Structure 1
Amino acid sequence: MTSNETRAITDLGTLKAFAHPLRIKLYRALHVARTATASQLADQVDEAVSLVSYHLRKLAEHGLIEEAERQGEDGRERWWRPSAEGLTVRHEDVKDAPEKLAAQGALTRILLEQRVDLYRRHLDESESWSDEWRSAGFEGEYLPRLNASELAALQGELDTLVNKYQAKGRAAEAAGDTQGRENVAIHLYGFPFRA
């Protein structure tokens, strides 16, 4: 059963396994769908089912995803789901080994590239969304002057807020309220910089 907790990735093997562009795309697609087969995911990422199945097995070997209850009539298809509500790689969990730091850096760069690609695609397709959705969307840059503990506290508060809305949306969908609901990406970065 999927854990409601966020899983911290702390070992080098799992970091390396996850730091693969296709595996990250598959994990994201599975996180959005909640459960899916390799065939369904292959359609979403435009890859061969055999390749997608291989990468799903690699994610499962490291406990990032797990088999889900079978759905539908076809008993041959394997269904997958995320094994946790989310994943995180924290500096304090990898700072003890240069190999872990390098793997975290590679993973973070792939995530950034994919997030930028996702946002670019949104910008390219923005006219296909209704005025209501275009008005509701946002982007911004905030430049507060904080210390490290204040930045950590801000991140905690943002997590709590986003989790509240995620739970609200899932509860509404479970109750049958699907009208007007779409997948929404929220990308936030908080980091120090020198001008």
Structure 2
Amino acid sequence: MTGKERDRRITDLGTLKALAHPLRLKLYRGLTIARVATASQLAEQVDEAVSLVSYHLRKLAEHGLIEEAEPQSGDGRERWWQPASDGVSIHDEDFRDAPEKAAAHTAASRLFFEQRADLYRRFLDERAHWSEQWQDAAESSESVLRLTAAELSELNREMLALVRRYEEQGRTADAVGDTEDRENVAVHTYGFPFRP
């Protein structure tokens, strides 16, 4: 971890709405992957005008989701950005106390899911272009378990701890320049109750 706050917990409606904008969420994800970037670099990634991207970056900054970074080049005209924390977390319990908050949380959760699903769809469309090693390593599975709410909470904590261990391993390797054969890897997990 980089000394930044780990998974800043979003508890206010304004910050949730700021992040729950399709372009802002893409920019936040892109910035999280790049760790530092300019509006121009991010605009190229999302295929939008630099002025529009700059506007949305400023909105994310107003809510403390991103912040200015140290310049990465000698060009003083460039404004560099970085995430203000090593991720964010959003919990249902923080948005249950008013219908407007609950509706905003549901809308945000749907947007997050749709963008994650789009990312996976893109992988499926491009899978044949990845090496056989990466194709074999990629996984998609579903498990149907019979658990209590407490057991589901414990399972989620254990899975998150495992993912964070691998995240730290990757960051450490990046820090010492061991980037060969490393790719960005998305890990999505959903644990939720349902009735047939």
Q: Give the TM-score range, shorter chain.
A: over 0.9
Change (3 A) 1:2 1:17: farther
Structure 1 Cα separation of the partners of residues 3 and 37 of structure 2: 14
The answer to whether the 8 Å contact 1:38/1:52 transfers is: yes
SS at match of 2:182: coil
Structure 2 Cα separation of the partners of residues 28 and 172 of structure 1: 21
SS at match of 1:5: strand
Aligned to 2:55: 54
Give the alignment's TM-score, normalised by structure 1: 0.97
Unaligned runs of 5+ in 2: none
Matches within 5 A, 1:76-155: 76-155=77-156
Give the alignment's TM-score, normalised by structure 2: 0.97
* Identity across the alignment (%): 62
Unaligned runs of 5+ in 1: none
The answer to whether the 8 Å contact 1:2/1:81 transfers is: no
The answer to whether the 8 Å contact 1:6/1:86 transfers is: yes
Say whether 1:40 aligns with 2:41.
yes
Aligned to 1:64: 65
The answer to whether the 8 Å contact 1:2/1:82 transfers is: no
SS at match of 2:140: coil
The answer to whether the 8 Å contact 1:8/1:88 transfers is: yes
Structure 2 Cα separation of the partners of residues 16 and 125 of structure 1: 32
Of 3-12 and 45-54, more deviation after overlay is shown by 3-12
Q: How many Å apart are 1:73 and its aligned residue?
A: 1.4
State the 4+ residue runs in structure 1 displaced beyond 6 angstroms: none
Q: How many Å apart are 1:2 and its aligned residue?
A: 6.2
AA paired with 1:30?
L
Q: RMSD of the TM alignment (CA)?
A: 1.1
Q: Deviations over 1:6-50 (max 9, x none)?
A: 111111111111110000000000000011000000000000000
AA paired with 2:186?
A
Structure 1 Cα separation of the partners of residues 129 and 137 of structure 2: 14
Structure 1 Cα separation of the partners of residues 84 and 97 of structure 2: 26
Aligned to 1:30: 31
